[in-house]
Structure 1
Amino acid sequence: MYPHTSLPIRPAIAASHHAALERFVSSGTWFWGHERHAMLKEARHASLCRLCAESRMALSPFITKGDHDSVTDLPEQVIEVIHRLVTDSGRLTEAWFQSVVDGGLSAEAYIEIVGLVASVIVLDSYARGLGEDLLSIDAPRREDSPPLRKTNPDVVDKGAWVPILAAEETPGATLLPSVPNILRAMGLVPSAIQQFFDIMRAHYGLANLESALSRPQIELVAARMSSYNDCFY
C-alpha cells in the first residue's frame, strides 16, 4: 500500500486505509458512489484553489468573492463545503452553515461530506508524513446500490449547528460524558460516524501498542501536533 517507506505499517492501519478508499466508491446514506469519489478528488484539489488561498489571507474568510477552482461537476454548495472544510475550517460560522442549508444542501448531506473530508485528511496526512504518494482508487464503473436517504430519528438538539446523536450523558469515571461529543456530532448520519471512526481508531488506539516511543512521548508528540493544527479539543 505504501511501497516506498522503510517504516513498518501496522496491519490495522493498512486495513483501515483500504476500507476507507473502498467507501469512496460505494454509495453512502445521502450520496452515490460516483459523487463520493468526486468528493475525494475535490478535497485533494481544494488546497490549490485561488479563492480559498485569498480567503485564508483575508481578515474574514467571507470577504473574498468569486468561484472556487473545481475539478469536478459536483453542485456548487457541495464544492463550497468541501473547500472550506479543507482550507479554513477553523473560521467557519453557524451563519455560513445556515447559508449552505438555505442554498439547498440538507444538514444530513452536510454531515456525510464532513465525514468524508475528515477521512481524506487522515489518509493524505499519513501518506505525506511517510513521503508517499497519495492513495488512489478508480471511480466506480457502475453503482452498487442507491443511497438510502434515510434520516436518523435518534438525535437531540443540544444547541449545536445540527442535532446530535442521543446518548447517555451521565459522567463516567473521568467525569467526562461516557459518549463524547466528537462521536455524537455526526449523529444525523450514523454511517458517517462508523466510517470515520473505523479509520480514526486504527490510528488513535494506544492500548497494547508496540512502539519505540513510550506512551508519554506519544502523547507529547500528539499534543504538539494538535497545537500546531489549532486543534484544542
Structure 2
Amino acid sequence: MVAFPQDSFPHLVDEKVLSAFEQIWEGLGRPGTWWTGAQRRAIAEAARSAIADGPRPIGAAIPALADLDSEDGSDISDLVLEVVRRVTSESGRVTAGWAAEAIGLMGPGRYVELVAVVVLIVPVDLFCGLMDRPRQPLPEVVAGEAVGGVPRGVEAGEAYVPWLVDGWQGPNVARALSYVPADNERRMAMVSSMYDGSEFFEMVWSHRSLSRPQIELLAARTSALNECFY
C-alpha cells in the first residue's frame, strides 16, 4: 500500500518527493544495521514525542547519561530515549563531549542509526504539517534482527562520529551518516528531491517555483532558527 499518494495532499507535491518519502517509510519499520524494526519504530515514536514536548527549559534538571538504564530489550532503554530527545528537540545542546559519552555508552553504529531515524522522520512530519496533511501513521514492524557490519572505508575523522574517509570527494553533509549506508542513501534521496536535485552546481534555477536565491534564503533562515550552523 502506498503511504504517500498524491491525492492525500491538498496541494500538488513533486513525485520525486513522494518517492523519497515512500523509501523512508518502507525502511522505517524494517531491521536496520544496528537496530531491529521494532526498535527503529520506537525511536521514531520517541522523536515524535520529543517534537511535541519541545526542548526543556534552560536550567531544568537533565539526567546524566551514565545514570540511565542502557539495557535494550524489544523496546528501547531510558538512555536511548534521552539521546533521542536531545538529538530531536535540543540539538543545539549537543556538544562534542556529550556526543562522545553517548557514543561510548551506545556504540557508534547505534548512535548513528538513531540519528538517522530522527533526521528521516522529522522532515517528513514537518512537511506534512506544512501541507495541512495529517502525519502518516508509522509502518508496521517487520520481524528480524539487525544485520550489523561496519562499511568499508569508514573511520574516525573530523566529525563526532566515524564516517566515510577512504577516497571521499564531496560535501561533508553527504557523508555525515555514512556509517549506516542504507539510511544515508534514503536521507540523501530526500535532500535531492526537496532541495537541489541534479542542479546543485547551477546558480540559476528554473525547474522550481522558487528561484535559487529564494530557496537559499529560506534554508539559511531555517538553519539559523534551529541553531543548525553549517
TM-score range, shorter chain: 0.7 to 0.9
For residues 225 and 158 of structure 2, what CA distance do their matches in structure 1 show?
28
Name the % identity: 25
Q: Is the 8 A contact 1:115 1:195 kept in 2?
A: no
Q: Is the 8 A contact 1:167 1:179 kept in 2?
A: no
Q: Which moved more, 1:90-99 or 1:113-122?
A: 90-99
Matches within 5 A, 1:1-233: 1=4, 3=7, 5-49=9-53, 53-54=55-56, 57-59=57-59, 63-65=61-63, 73-103=75-105, 105-140=106-141, 142-143=142-143, 145-168=144-167, 178-206=169-197, 207=199, 210-233=207-230
**CA deviation digits over 1:154-205, x for unaligned, max 9?**
1233243222211446xxxxxxxx4111122223222232121122211112
Structure 2 segments unaligned to the other structure (5+ residues): 69-73, 200-204
For residues 167 and 28 of structure 1, what CA distance do their matches in structure 2 show?
23
For residues 210 and 161 of structure 1, what CA distance do their matches in structure 2 show?
36
Structure 1 residues 19, 92: CA separation in 2 closer, same or farther (over 3 Å shift)? same
Shift of 1:11: 0.5
Structure 1 residues 107, 6: CA separation in 2 closer, same or farther (over 3 Å shift)? same
SS at the partner of 1:21? helix
**CA deviation digits over 1:12-41, x for unaligned, max 9?**
111111111111111111111121111111
Q: Is the 8 A contact 1:111 1:192 kept in 2?
A: no
The TM-score normalised by the length of structure 2 is 0.80
For residues 167 and 153 of structure 1, what CA distance do their matches in structure 2 show?
8
2:71 matched residue in structure 1 = none
Moved over 6 A (4+): none
Structure 1 residues 95, 232: CA separation in 2 closer, same or farther (over 3 Å shift)? closer
The one-letter amino acid of 1:179's match is G
Structure 1 residues 230, 98: CA separation in 2 closer, same or farther (over 3 Å shift)? closer
The one-letter amino acid of 1:64's match is I
For residues 214 and 162 of structure 1, what CA distance do their matches in structure 2 show?
35
Q: Which moved more, 1:199-208 or 1:146-155?
A: 199-208
For residues 185 and 85 of structure 1, what CA distance do their matches in structure 2 show?
14
**CA deviation digits over 1:111-143, x for unaligned, max 9?**
011111001111011111112111123422x51
Structure 1 segments unaligned to the other structure (5+ residues): 170-177
1:173 matched residue in structure 2 = none
Shift of 1:64: 3.0
Q: Which moved more, 1:205-214 or 1:9-18?
A: 205-214
Structure 1 residues 5, 138: CA separation in 2 closer, same or farther (over 3 Å shift)? closer
Q: Is the 8 A contact 1:26 1:33 kept in 2?
A: yes
Q: Is the 8 A contact 1:21 1:136 kept in 2?
A: no
Structure 1 residues 25, 221: CA separation in 2 closer, same or farther (over 3 Å shift)? same
Aligned length: 212
The one-letter amino acid of 1:127's match is C
